[in-house]
Amino acid sequence: MNKAAGIIPARFGSTRFPGKPLYLIAGKPLLRHVWERCRRAKKLDSLIIATDDMRIANAAFGWGAQIALTSPRHQSGTDRIAEVARKAKQFAFIINIQGDEPLVDPRLIDRLVEKLRSDRKIDIVTAAHPFDDPAEASSPHQVKVVVDLMGRALYFSRAAIPFLRQLSRKNYLRHQGIYGFRRETLLQFVKWKPTALEHAESLEQLRALEKGVKVHVLVTKHGSPGVDTPEDALALEQKLARAKGSTLS
């Protein structure tokens, strides 16, 4: 059993951006941009949108996506994908892909799958990249990670870690919210109660570290920005228009 499923959790409600998955960017819903990027990945055996909202389900079904309807009681996207994974016993690996990162790199998805397939000691794999502007590391909205010499996460934080006496672009790593799980690890993870550090930082990946799970971090040159606000969506639309214009010229 070596199959991998990519699952995109999507909910309609959002404190800062209600209806975000179906917000139109360059004529397409945000979620569709994500789904189309993920379809370019070569290592996924299935791609599923997991949602509890029929507006999202109907829209995604209309553009050809595979849908899994989930409980509305889930507190996180990880809980939502775990519900799908619990029934999808044919998959050994589950890739949790954020529904608000429309520029996610399909090659990164493939790398996550390959890392899980090639190293049985890795239970969870994620990604990070250097900040383009090291000053952004001071923002609590940007999650940072420090890794050991083997590429395993030592800690995730909203604080600027490590402490530096002199700023350098390469010293701060921005965590990208994409995860690859072994199925059994994912199902165990959601059974554990949130831990003290998880509560303190409001970062659920710390639950895995506190439980002794090895989290491998793939460090890439660049990451993909998320869309958290309507202003982010406008900036993305402008970026896509510039890219299209340069292609045509």
Which one is predicted more confidently, 91 or 231? 91
Task: Judge whether residue 248 has pLDDT over 70.
Answer: no
Alpha-carbon distance 21 to 29, whole Å?
6
pLDDT reading at 90 higher than 50 = yes
Averaged pLDDT, 236-246: 77
Res 117: pLDDT: 97
Domain that holds residue 92: 4-248
Give me the pLDDT at residue 148, please.
96
Please provide the average confidence, as pLDDT, over all residues in the chain. 92
Say if residue 29 is preceded by a cis peptide, omega within 30 of 0. no
List the CATH number of the domain containing 188: 3.90.550.10
State the pLDDT confidence band at 1, using cuts at 50, 70 and 90. Answer: confident
Could you give the C-alpha distances from 66 to 8, 12, 48, 62, 159, in angstroms and in order? 10, 18, 5, 10, 38
Around Cβ 74, how many Cβ atoms within 10 Å?
Answer: 18
Res. 144: pLDDT tops 80:
yes
Domain count, the chain: 1
Locate 60 and state its tokens: 């995604």
Percentage of the chain modeled with pLDDT above 70: 96
- Tens-digit pLDDT profile for residues 12-67: 977 778 899 999 999 999 999 999 999 999 999 999 999 999 999 999 999 999 99
**Are the C-beta atoms of 120 and 185 separated by less than 8 Å?**
no
* This prediction's pTM: 0.93
pLDDT in the model for residue 36? 97
| Share above pLDDT 90 across residues of the chain, in percent, rounded to a whole number | 78
Q: What is the pLDDT of residue 249?
A: 43
pLDDT in tens, 156-192: 999 999 987 765 556 799 999 999 999 999 999 999 9
**Token digits of residue 16:** 């800062």
Decide if pLDDT at 244 tops 50: yes
Would you say 105 and 178 are in contact if contact means Cβ atoms under 8 Å apart? no
pLDDT band at 224, cuts 50/70/90?
A: confident
pLDDT of residue 240: 82
